[in-house]
């Protein structure tokens, strides 16, 4: 296998184009080796992505040069912090073509964003007998908050089933819409199957039935062009740490009129305009939903990540990852006897490949691969109901990003053959 390390850790200007191999030098961690001296083969980007030097530098500059609180101070470094923080919001808004930065609410991750909508919009608009439509492929973050809501409000959850090759059954979705749900919430891209769902088509169907639409875009925003205006959705959530940004960063986008009508999610400093002993007046959006001091450096890093992705071009990112997933499906089927692969064909999926080696637990697979520096996820990937749908206790998962190269997929195939040899399969 060719050398997978990188020779430079210096950030460099982005160059658009489909060949992203040279960008590996932007990610310092790819120059490291594991305790066995093996170069890092990182195939767990669906869990969290690696960070380029430009993002590391942006977050580090805040902590080194102008570490202060935002929106409050009138001295130089406080104003610089506020400018950088709000500049990050503008970059994130541009990334998804939001009509205005004020419609971007900064949160810690997509999970918090969904909980914000469930608590603020949901508790005001969902009542006894009201239904919410989800799908069988949802991440726990887009399932459990709605479970809690309907239990509290005596509402109902309905689920769109999937086919054996991991596609939503839209004919059943159409039937469920006859129940006149208040909300339809589903993932843009499945984190286990990789399925890319038809968001615009389903949104049009849901709106025709009178429902609002929330999209979990955690696995979409880092990997393909996302235009919330073109999609026509009402809420769109995503995490920074899956899009090359630091952990503790994320965003909720929602239409202005929805945000203005929603009550605050958390109360405290900065989300208020005036406070008196017995009443308070709320701040304008988005700050109405951003109580207390946020993770300033992480959100500044998220803005830098948005700029990094836009400099590459999301079309180029999508094309690269489609190439990687198509190659992975081909190589794994050809070179790893007996492997079980889950999900649709390459033209219907993002950069995620979940699999099993029959008779070998995914945790054993991941542990043996780790000896060679190969990082894959093993478990239920926060999709236990989806695993139950396929009668699986767990699976292993390889997932890709802008820094993934074919040699890493070759290394995975070689590693899986070694796992099978060890277990005499």
Catalytic residues: 382
Pairing of strands 131-135, 183-187: parallel
Going by the DSSP 8-state scheme, the letter that residue 237 receives in this structure is: E
- Alpha-carbon distance 104 to 259, whole Å? 10
Cβ atoms 104, 93 nearer than 8 A: yes
Neighbours of 128 (CB within 10 A): 9
- Alpha-carbon distance 378 to 325, whole Å? 18
- Alpha-carbon distance 255 to 212, whole Å? 11
Q: What angle do CA 242, 243, 246 make, to 5 degrees?
A: 75
Q: What angle do CA 136, 134, 176 make, to 5 degrees?
A: 105
Of the candidates 424, 415, 390, 383, which has an alpha carbon nearest to the alpha carbon of residue 47? 383
- Alpha-carbon distance 342 to 352, whole Å? 10
Cβ atoms 114, 147 nearer than 8 A: no
């Amino acid at each position: 296998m060719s050398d997978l390390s990188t020779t430079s850790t210096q950030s460099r200007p982005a160059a658009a184009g489909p060949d992203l191999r040279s960008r590996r030098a932007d990610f310092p961690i790819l120059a490291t080796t594991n305790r066995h001296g093996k170069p890092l083969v990182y195939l767990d980007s669906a869990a969290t992505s690696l960070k380029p030097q430009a993002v590391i530098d942006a977050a580090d500059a805040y902590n080194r040069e102008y570490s202060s609180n935002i929106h409050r101070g009138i001295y130089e470094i406080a104003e610089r912090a506020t400018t950088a923080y709000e500049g990050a919001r503008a970059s994130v808004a541009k990334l998804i073509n939001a009509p205005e930065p004020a419609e971007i609410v900064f949160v810690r991750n997509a999970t918090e964003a969904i909980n914000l909508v469930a608590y603020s919009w949901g508790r005001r608009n969902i009542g006894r007998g009201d239904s919410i439509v989800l799908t069988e492929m949802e991440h726990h973050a887009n399932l459990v908050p709605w479970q809690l809501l309907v239990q509290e409000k005596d509402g109902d959850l309905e689920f769109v089933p999937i086919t054996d090759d991991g596609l939503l059954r839209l004919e059943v979705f159409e039937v469920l819409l006859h129940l006149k749900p208040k909300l339809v919430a589903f993932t843009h891209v499945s984190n286990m199957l990789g399925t890319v769902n038809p968001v615009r088509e389903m949104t049009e169907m849901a709106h025709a039935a009178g429902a609002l639409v929330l999209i979990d875009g955690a696995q979409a925003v880092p990997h393909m062009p996302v235009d919330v205006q073109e999609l026509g959705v009402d809420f769109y959530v995503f995490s920074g740490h899956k899009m090359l940004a630091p952990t503790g960063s994320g965003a909720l986008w929602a239409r202005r009129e929805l945000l203005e009508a929603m009550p605050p999610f958390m109360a405290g400093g900065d989300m208020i305009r005036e406070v008196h002993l017995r009443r308070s007046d709320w701040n304008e959006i988005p700050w109405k939903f951003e109580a207390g001091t946020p993770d300033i450096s992480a959100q500044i890093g998220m803005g830098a990540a948005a700029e990094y992705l836009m400099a590459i071009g999301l079309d180029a990112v999508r094309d690269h990852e489609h190439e990687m997933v198509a190659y992975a499906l081909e190589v794994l089927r050809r070179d790893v006897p007996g492997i079980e692969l889950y999900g649709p064909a390459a033209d219907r999926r993002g950069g995620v490949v979940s699999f099993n080696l029959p008779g070998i637990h995914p945790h054993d697979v991941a542990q043996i691969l780790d000896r060679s520096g190969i990082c894959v996820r093993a478990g239920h990937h926060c999709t236990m109901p989806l695993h139950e749908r396929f009668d699986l206790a767990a699976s292993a998962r390889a997932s890709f990003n802008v820094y993934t190269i074919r040699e890493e997929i070759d290394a995975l195939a070689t590693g899986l053959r070694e796992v099978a040899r060890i277990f005499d399969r």
